[in-house]
Amino acid sequence: MNRRWNRVSIIGCGLIGASFALALRRANACDRIAGWDSSKTELDEAVATGVVDEVDQAFGQLGATDNDPGVSDSDLIFLAMPVAEIIEFLRARGRQIKPDAVITDAGSTKVEICSAARSYLKDFKQFVGGHPIAGSHLQGLAHARGDLFAGAPYVLITDEDQPEGPAHAAIRATLNLLGARVTSMTAIDHDRAMALVSHLPQIVSSALATVTKVRPDADALLSLAGAGYRDMTRLAASSWSIWGDILATNSTETAAALDALIGKLNDVRDELLESSERGGELNKTRSLFGESGGGTKPSKEREDATYFNS
């Protein structure tokens, strides 16, 4: 029997939340799926398209303090919203999650979310911080698919001072059913890693696109752009409504990653200027390249990987 959950509530019915719902159905991992979203339009669409079976009426309006409808009877709560909205949901609606329910999230940074869970949930042991390293710069329920997590890395947050408990085991088992490649790390280690392999690439892509876009001859330049430029700037289409929270909640680690990159770029710039004026080898620049230089060629798996941008 693959089924693990009687009722799952998807909080946030965009790309990740809707894909998680579809993946649960695909794996026959639950009986019923409820949905909730701060956008009535998104929620109505999730119900109309069958992504979720019903609305979780327990949560009402986000931020409301009076006339709370009650306690959700879902035994798994999956939070798939921008980071700040996840934190606000835990603050405003944590008391409306039944005590024995497991809560997990899909936020792209983990330190502040895990801190909020400690503060606002009655039993922090039932919370499992998570981050699927899967997705697209395209957002919204329309782009959801049931195989989104299959073969993709999925980080679960563990406390370095305590062993993983039953809630972790339950989430891990469900993710295994979905085909995800599950790994565990602390919230601090996760945020440091994501600064380098996710947040830095996003900033670089957006900055590169902007450098070209603001030039008066931008249209002519873009008409000459090939696949390399398109690949490098694909992430620039990502939404600030998602990335504003991510960068604000991981600013120190992202700044450190930028410092490391800026150091390399300064070396290249200085060496190119010196070579232009005096000649000489481009040794520092060469060291950044694969095969003939000193770099390493990405594996096929890394070349095919898709950044998660929510």
Write the DSSP assignment of the chain as a string of letters.
----EEEEEEE--SHHHHHHHHHHHHTT-EEEEEEE-S-HHHHHHHHHTTSSSEE-TTS-STT--SS----B--SEEEE-S-HHHHHHHHHHHGGGB-TT-EEEE--S--HHHHHHHHHH-S-GGGEE-EEE----S--SGGG--TTTTTT-EEEEE--TTS---HHHHHHHHHHHHTT-EEEEE-HHHHHHHHIIIIIHHHHHHHHHHHHHHTSTTHHHHHHT--HHHHHHHGGGGS-HHHHHHHHHTSHHHHHHHHHHHHHHHHHHHHHHHHHHHH----HHHHTTSBTTSSB-PPPHHHHH------
Statement: the pTM of the whole predicted model exceeds 0.95: no
- Domains of the chain listed by start with CATH number: 5-185 (3.40.50.720), 190-304 (1.10.3660.10)
What is the pLDDT, as a whole number, of residue 283?
A: 94
Here the tokens at position 31 are 């009986």
pLDDT (tens digit, 0 to 9) for every residue of the chain, 310 residues total? Answer: 456 899 999 999 999 999 999 999 999 999 999 999 989 999 999 999 999 999 999 997 554 555 556 899 999 999 999 999 999 999 999 999 999 999 999 999 999 999 999 999 988 789 999 999 987 666 788 889 999 999 999 999 998 677 789 999 999 999 999 999 999 999 999 999 999 999 999 999 999 999 999 999 999 999 999 999 999 999 999 889 889 999 999 999 999 999 999 999 999 999 999 999 888 899 999 999 986 555 555 544 433 333 333 3
What is the pLDDT, as a whole number, of residue 194?
A: 98
Closest listed residue to residue 260, CA positions, set 291, 288, 302: 288
| Residue type at 218 in one-letter notation | A
What is the pLDDT, as a whole number, of residue 58?
A: 92
Cα–Cα distance, 63 to 290 (Å, whole number): 51
For residues 209-243, one letter each, b for 16 or more C-beta atoms within 10 angstroms of the residue's C-beta and e for the rest, the string is beeeeeeeeeeeeeeeeeeeeeeebebbebeeebb
Here the tokens at position 257 are 């990653």
What is the pLDDT, as a whole number, of residue 164?
A: 84
Cα–Cα distance, 16 to 136 (Å, whole number): 10
What is the pLDDT, as a whole number, of residue 4?
A: 86
Cβ atoms 152, 301 nearer than 8 A: no
Cα–Cα distance, 270 to 169 (Å, whole number): 52
What is the pLDDT, as a whole number, of residue 305?
A: 36
What is the pLDDT, as a whole number, of residue 299?
A: 47
Cβ atoms 106, 131 nearer than 8 A: yes
